[in-house]
Chain A
Amino acid sequence: MNFKDISIRSKISILVVGICLATLIVSSLLFFVFDSRQYKKMILEKVTITADVIGGNNTANIIFNNPQEAATVLRTLIADDGINVARIYDNDDNIFAEYIKEPEYAMSNLDFITSNASHKYVKRTLLVKRPIILDNEKIGATFLNYSMEGYYARRISFIHFLLGLFTAALIIVLLLTVKLQRIISTPIINLTNTMRSIEKNLDYITVDDKRKDEIGQLINGFNSMITQIKQQNQDLVLAKNQAENSAKIKDQFLANMSHEIRTPMNGVIGMAKLLENTPLSAEQKCFLDNISISASNLLVIINDILDFSKIEAGKMELEEIEFNLSNIIDTLNVVYTKTTADKRLYFKLNIDDNVPKMLWGDPTRLTQILNNLIGNAVKFTEYGGITLTIKSREMSHNFTHLKFIVSDTGIGIPQEKQDLIFKSFSQASSDTTRKYGGTGLGLTISRQLALMHKDGNLTVSSQIDKGSTFCFDVTYKQSNATPEPIVKTTERPKPIEGKNRVKVLLAEDNEINQLFVKTILKPYFDVYSAENGKIVVDWLRKEDFDIILMDLHMPEMDGYQATSEIRKMDDERINNIPIIALTAAAIKGEREKCIDSGMNDYISKPFNPDELIDKIFSLVTPSENIANKPEESPKSKIKPTEFKYINTKYLDSITDGDENFQHQLVSIFIDQVPELKNNMLEAFESHNYHRLSEVAHKAKSSVAMMGMSQLREHLARLEQSAKEGIEAETYKEKIDLFIVTCEAAIEECKNLL
């Protein structure tokens, strides 16, 4: 572990103990050396003095030649335990007198005596030689052999003392450090702990410790930082809430806009569709086509903008469902074969054999990307055509990498613009926008969508005037399911007349949409409309319905409220009624919101009529349908006779060629007409317009069955105006038209029978 990484507590302890020990060691060593030297010097001095004293004391003995007396003097040295040998030499280095403590020390040390050295350490002994001077003349020499055992013993006891000192000092230093390091470390550790707890609990607490040293400054800094962070957090939370709020408002705005725009668009498209079924001049037909195309384009643009804002907001999410790739390709093939044929281009499919049919993923987005790429290709190609190539490469873990390559022979994109086309609101040139239209969002959205997929990418390579190739890479999970055969919509139960018809309650405040829905559903169901949720709830209490089509945005009580009201009702027959949401707000989460609020299904406006009819059929109790389902019979053998009023083709189509059923229908029609006629006239004459409206409604259904679309429209208008009590002057004319047309039709019917 690095010293740097250990805790400050240990650091201080280690430092203090270390410094103390180092100081102690150095000073002890110095002291030890100094003391040893001093002691040695002291011994030397002492011995020298002793030698001098001995010499001085014996001067007379020497010059008056009295060795016995000298020896007596030397013997007094026995008092000093350290003196092993003491000798007095005369000037010829002969021993004059001597004292030997132990016989073992009796060596002569002659080489030292004859040398010039005054002292010498030999084998733990000190040898000292001092001249004996009398009256400035050397008269002999004193020699002492002094034991250094005392010195060594002192050294050893000194070392013991130092070891003891060390231990004691270490213990004292450790104890003191452990106690005193807290003075420095505790505030720092407190600070650290506070910091940790802030980090962990995100609870911005300050440290309460008033002091004026650096740590105090640190704490002050820390506290002020924490206070700032607190303040900033509050500000941030506020800002976040504001941002979330505005995001919510933006979402709401988008939802509303999408609803507000789609609702009239629904009207435009629906009406245009209805208009197609009316007799029109060639010029009118052309105008109508233009209306339809413009409306569709507008819808595409609106959808693009909505998608784009969803992607920008990060709210776009991919579905993960099982889908049939061949179905998607087939649909594309049908659509673009026709579109390209209109522009005299070719459309080729080039699909590898190993491309799997069933996959897991988001079919909607795949279709969107391919539509965008192929649509662009068609848009920017004048000659030649478009090829869609699909390559497949199997990967591990049941994944398949697919490459969708859309290549065209169009105008191409210059190299330097190839990156730009993926940017928002960018096209290769501003001319492009003028010439070919478009929002410039399509490729941006496609690329963003592509990038959201696993291994997804969208790339382009292009040469001017040679064409462009867009390549969409994606990895899908393989599905083991076998592709289901495409269910033909014609297998749907046929429209029926009679009392057992399914009763649909339509909750919709927009009259045009009411009309549109009513019109497309009329052949199959009895449709009753309510303008808001409140009326729906009231009606349900009075009358039985089989299904409700619920617009979500209505005055007084919207779809969600109405649904929850209905689901809360006591009557089991009512609260279980299937409800399909109709909404123009095609934004994310709306579907979930609908399902959550208790609705059974969801359809986004503008919708495909067949899709709505299918959904209704799938939700109303199957037993009723089966009961109403006519028996299967061989195909109609009616010969193609000229019928002016009734539409035998339509009759064929709704009965699926069942002759008996046709006869039944025709008979009912023949029986109904006189009664309808009477009731109508009666209601008109008594000014009971409501009754008139009802009769017209019934008559409308009846003539619709006969395929008398023009008359049906007249009656529909009559029904509507009579219901509202307006345009009373037109009633008679319409009733007459009904009577005349029906009588002629009955004649034709009789031929049919």
Chain B
Amino acid sequence: MTTKRTILMSALLCLLTLTTKAQYAEYEIKAAYIFNFAKFIEWPETETTPSDSIYLCIYQKDPFGVILEKTMVGRTANGKSWSIKRINSLKEVTKCHILVIPDISQHNVTKLLKEIGNKPILTIGDEIPNFCNLGGIVNFTPQMSKCQFEMNNDVACGNRIRINPKLLQLAKIISNKEDEF
């Protein structure tokens, strides 16, 4: 098991270090990012979300295909195994730890985020413009930008999700407070 994991891990790290060279597909990198995010994030204990594994939900249109399964299955993050779900309705959202939201319309995003409210769900937008400003927590940014992702820690805090500052350091921080003033 360990050997296998080590090989996989090193493969992933290789993959990570070489992303800039675009030898790996974009979603493979994004999958790896999602995997690594889990290591720096703590979710609150709730009745609805089981704490023994991380529920990764992909909303409606799935751009990853089998990549997610390839990346996550059989591996743990912070001792938790992965469970991947593809959901279409918001009703299923409550069980998720991470909700990956593909490129959908602005209107839908707002609606979706509203629905989620302050549930402890890490929302990851796939290159959705103003995702974090709209109330999303993490948003992949288009390639070649300075940071690979942006984060809204205020929302995370409001949803009782604790993001490790080390991770925050790497992100472009989007704050609600700027808008208020």
Contacts and interface: CB of A to CB of B under 8 A. Distances in A.
Interface of A: 57-61, 63-66, 69, 90-91, 134-135, 137, 139
Contacts of A134: 39
A65 B20 CA distance: 10
B106 interface: no
A69 B39 contact: no
B157 interface: no
B51 interface: no
Interface string B141-169: 00000001000000000000000101101
B169 A63 contact: no
Contact of A64 (B5, B10, B36): B36
A63 B13 contact: yes
A60 B19 contact: no
30 contacts: A58-B166, A59-B166, A60-B164, A60-B166, A60-B167, A60-B169, A60-B170, A61-B166, A61-B169, A61-B170, A63-B13, A63-B16, A63-B39, A64-B16, A64-B33, A64-B36, A64-B148, A64-B170, A65-B17, A66-B170, A69-B169, A90-B13, A90-B17, A91-B10, A134-B39, A135-B39, A135-B76, A135-B78, A137-B9, A139-B13
Q: Considering residues A57, A60, A69, A137, which has the most beta carbons from chain B within 10 angstroms of its beta carbon?
A: A60
Contacts of B13: 63, 90-91, 139
B37 to A, nearest CB: 9
Question: Interface SS of chain A: helix, strand, loop or mixed?
Answer: mixed
Give the 4 A-B residue pairs with the shortest CB-CB distance, closest first: A60-B166, A135-B39, A63-B36, A64-B170
B90 to A, nearest CB: 30
Contacts of B167: 60, 64
B77 interface: yes
A135 B10 CA distance: 14
Contacts of B17: 65, 90
Interface in B6-40: 6, 9-10, 13, 16-17, 19-20, 33, 36, 39-40
Question: Interface SS of chain B: helix, strand, loop or mixed?
Answer: helix
A381 B60 CA distance: 172
Nearest to A72: B169
Nearest to A59: B166
B8 to A, nearest CB: 10
Contacts of A137: 5-6, 9
B170 A57 contact: no
A630 B84 CA distance: 186
Nearest to A140: B13
A69 B36 CA distance: 17
Q: Considering residues A66, A69, A91, A137, which has the most beta carbons from chain B within 10 angstroms of its beta carbon?
A: A137
A309 to B, nearest CB: 127
B70 to A, nearest CB: 18
Contacts of B39: 63, 134-135
B19 A65 contact: yes
Contact of B40 (A57, A58, A60, A139): A60
Nearest to B149: A64
Contacts of B16: 63-65
A436 to B, nearest CB: 136
A60 B164 CA distance: 9
Contacts of B78: 135
Nearest to B6: A137
Contacts of B79: 135
Contacts of A59: 166
A57 B166 contact: yes
A95 to B, nearest CB: 12
Interface string B77-99: 11100000000000000000000
Contacts of A61: 166, 169-170
B141 to A, nearest CB: 13
Nearest to A64: B170
A58 B170 CA distance: 10
A90 B5 CA distance: 17
Given A64-B167, A90-B13, 6 more contacts: A60-B164, A60-B167, A60-B170, A63-B13, A64-B170, A137-B5
B163 to A, nearest CB: 10
Q: Considering residues A57, A61, A64, A91, which has the most beta carbons from chain B within 10 angstroms of its beta carbon?
A: A64
A134 B13 CA distance: 12
Contacts of A65: 16-17, 19-20
A61 B20 CA distance: 15
A60 B38 CA distance: 12
Nearest to A58: B166
Contacts of A135: 39, 76-79
A90 B40 CA distance: 19
B40 to A, nearest CB: 6
A140 to B, nearest CB: 9
B9 A69 contact: no
A182 to B, nearest CB: 73
A137 B40 CA distance: 14
Nearest to B29: A65
A57 B39 CA distance: 14
Contacts of B148: 64
A674 B66 CA distance: 205
Contacts of A57: 166
Contacts of B33: 64
A282 to B, nearest CB: 163
B170 A69 contact: yes
A65 B40 CA distance: 15
Contacts of A139: 13
Contacts of B169: 60-61, 69
Contacts of B19: 65
A24 B127 CA distance: 75
Contacts of A63: 13, 16, 36, 39
A569 B11 CA distance: 156
A287 to B, nearest CB: 157
B95 to A, nearest CB: 23
Contacts of B9: 137
Q: Considering residues A91, A134, A135, which has the most beta carbons from chain B within 10 angstroms of its beta carbon?
A: A135
A424 B39 CA distance: 131
A582 to B, nearest CB: 146
Q: Considering residues B19, B76, B164, B169, which has the most beta carbons from chain A within 10 angstroms of its beta carbon?
A: B169
A134 B40 CA distance: 10
A64 B151 CA distance: 14
Nearest to B12: A63
Contacts of A66: 170
Nearest to B10: A91
Contacts of B6: 137
A559 B60 CA distance: 173
Contacts of B5: 137
A63 B14 CA distance: 10
A340 to B, nearest CB: 143
A137 B170 CA distance: 20
B50 to A, nearest CB: 19
A57 B169 CA distance: 10
Contacts of B166: 57-61
Contacts of A91: 10, 13
